[in-house]
Structure 1
Amino acid sequence: MTSVKNLFAQFFVIAFAGLAFSAPAMAADEAPDQMVKRISQEIIDLAKSDKEIQAGNQKRVYDMVESKILPYIDFQRMTSLAAGKNWRDATPDQQQQLIKEFRTLLVFTYSGAITQIKDQRIEFKPMRAAADDTEVEVRSQVIQSRGDPIQLNYRLAKSATGWKIYDINVLGAWLVETYKGTFTEAISKTGIDGLIKTLSDKNKKLASAPNKSTSK
């Protein structure tokens, strides 16, 4: 059975990678559901047509993620939510280190998933939100040629520069909650610095083996 983290690995890039190719056209007042719909379709189309991606060129994906995607993800909020109540106990320097290492881990972990996009398409459900809401959930499902549809939802918050994604949900499990348990356990054993070191060590290992992912 495919684990929740494996599913995150498969669909995380669908959620974010399209931003790399649509940033110039992004308007600060673009509706959140329309933004997610557009970027999701763009990355699916790209994954199907780009020969280097199909061939598994991970460097191409890494470079794209680092330079184009990160400005559109609220990693500070994502990291603080994953750290939970321990976030308040961390110093500003520890918080910045934790954000950096968590961001790097997610980039390494999920960049390779783009090569797994084959025949998927996404159907979006009507968004339930008021015009003045500053936080919304965009709900969708991934349709595959084989198997049942995969639930894929997004949490977004409005910033001065537009909507930013800070969490995704696959089959009822939110990414932040999935990591929260791991973070809490690590912090209880070795503290904030111990968690930072654990993430740093894992990232160094991944950096030395760029063609591998941590989705297992």
Structure 2
Amino acid sequence: MKRYLIAFLAAAFVSGTAFAQASPDSAVKTAVEGTVNAMKADPQAKGGDMAKITGLVQTRFVPYTDFLRTTRIAVGQQAWSTATPEQQKQLFEQFQLLLVRTYAASLSQLRSQDVSFKFVPAPTPAGAKDTVVQTHVISNGDDQGIDYRMEKTADGWKIYDINMMGAWLIQVYQHQFADQIAKGGIDGLIKFLTEHNARSAG
């Protein structure tokens, strides 16, 4: 019995190590294809149920992201450092919700299409901590490029920025957030995000 337990623990360790050491493009492939395949296999999601699609993004895609880093960069180092822990928590929760819904809305357009993906191996030198994975979404003869900026963490490669239609999400939101902070401070930005999410939920 002890021998089998040791073998099981060894296998689990090897499996966990392999996951942590997965290449950046493999991590993106697992996150994207896993989410899309789950969406296509679920009758409610395939029928356009946005709550269901959003839930699938939360469970299938978000584990491969570091949206806390996304939030810190978008808010800006100075503003983030002056925010209280509770304010930082609210900013992260509201911004992650916005990002998840944005990505879910994008994926929902693929639910009834015959779609394939191409993931380009990222040129990642040994010891690199940051890279960009280029992907192609191929559907109905169209080829749309989506890039994922990745960071290497103790838990493997994580997505923290996405380039859709030629614009990096962090850059887009940095300008909006700076305006809101200038007008109403951190609380003003939290209010802006909360109200935006409330409207999009309705």
- Structure number, greater radius of gyration: 2
CA distance in 2, matches of 1:110, 1:125: 20
**2:129 is aligned with 1:134:** yes
TM-score (norm: length of structure 1):
0.75
CA distance in 2, matches of 1:111, 1:151: 17
- Which structure 2 residue ranges, 5 or more long, are not aligned? 1-15
Partner of 2:73: 81
How many residue pairs match? The answer is 184
CA drift at 1:33: 1.1
CA drift at 1:176: 0.7
CA drift at 1:51: 2.4
TM-score (norm: length of structure 2):
0.79
- Which structure 1 residue ranges, 5 or more long, are not aligned? 1-23, 210-216
Question: Which amino acid in structure 1 is aligned with residue 148 of structure 2?
Answer: Y
Partner of 2:186: 192
Q: Does 1 or 2 have the higher relative contact order (CA < 8 Å, sep 6+)? A: 1
CA distance in 2, matches of 1:152, 1:146: 16
Q: How does 1:1-216 map to 2 (within 5 A)?
A: 27-85=19-77, 86-117=79-110, 118-147=113-142, 149-207=143-201, 209=202
C-alpha offsets along residues 50-101 of structure 1, whole Å, 9 cap, x if unaligned? 3222211223223333445433321111001111242233233222211111
Q: Give 4+ residue runs of structure 1 displaced > 6 Å after superposition.
A: none
Which segment drifts farther, 44-53 or 152-161?
44-53
CA drift at 1:112: 3.5
C-alpha offsets along residues 92-131 of structure 1, whole Å, 9 cap, x if unaligned? 3222211111112222333243321123322233421112
Distance change in 2, residues 1:72/1:37 (3 Å): closer
> Given that residues 53 and 114 in structure 1 are in contact (C-alpha distance below 8 angstroms), is that contact kept between their aligned partners in structure 2?
no
Question: Which amino acid in structure 2 is aligned with residue 162 of structure 1?
Answer: G
> Given that residues 62 and 108 in structure 1 are in contact (C-alpha distance below 8 angstroms), is that contact kept between their aligned partners in structure 2?
yes
> Given that residues 153 and 169 in structure 1 are in contact (C-alpha distance below 8 angstroms), is that contact kept between their aligned partners in structure 2?
yes
